[in-house]
Amino acid sequence: MVDSINRRERKKINSKKAIVDAAVKLFSEKGYQETAVADIMNQADLGIGTFYNYFQSKEEILKSLLSEIVQEINQFFETLLKEPKPASEVLTEMVLLTAKILDKNRFVLPLFLSAANKSAMPKEHMHPASGLTFKSIFDSIIKNGQETGAFRQDIPAELITEMFHSVFQAASFSSLEMSFMTNIQYKLTLILDGIVLRK
d(CA 186, CA 176) in angstroms, rounded, equals 12
Q: Are 101 and 190 in contact (CB under 8 A)?
A: no
Q: How confident is the model at residue 87 (pLDDT cuts 50, 70, 90)?
A: very high
- What HEC string does 88-151 produce? HHHHHHHHHHHHHHHHHCHHHHHHHHHHHHCCCCCHHHCCCCCCCCHHHHHHHHHHHHHHCCCE
87-112 in b/e form (b: 16+ CB < 10 A) is bbebbbbbbeebbebbbebebbbebb
Q: Are 141 and 94 in contact (CB under 8 A)?
A: yes
pLDDT at 111 over 80: no
pLDDT over 90, % of the chain: 35
d(CA 172, CA 24) in angstroms, rounded, equals 18
Higher pLDDT, 153 or 66: 153
Going by C-alpha positions, the residue among 51, 62, 32, 58 that lies closest to residue 125 is 62
- How confident is the model at residue 135, as a pLDDT? 80
pLDDT at 21 over 60: yes
Q: Which of 3-12, 22-31, 100-109, 132-141 has the lowest mean pLDDT?
A: 3-12
pLDDT at 114 over 70: no
Going by C-alpha positions, the residue among 145, 148, 147 that lies closest to residue 191 is 145
d(CA 57, CA 97) in angstroms, rounded, equals 29
d(CA 104, CA 144) in angstroms, rounded, equals 29
d(CA 105, CA 66) in angstroms, rounded, equals 9
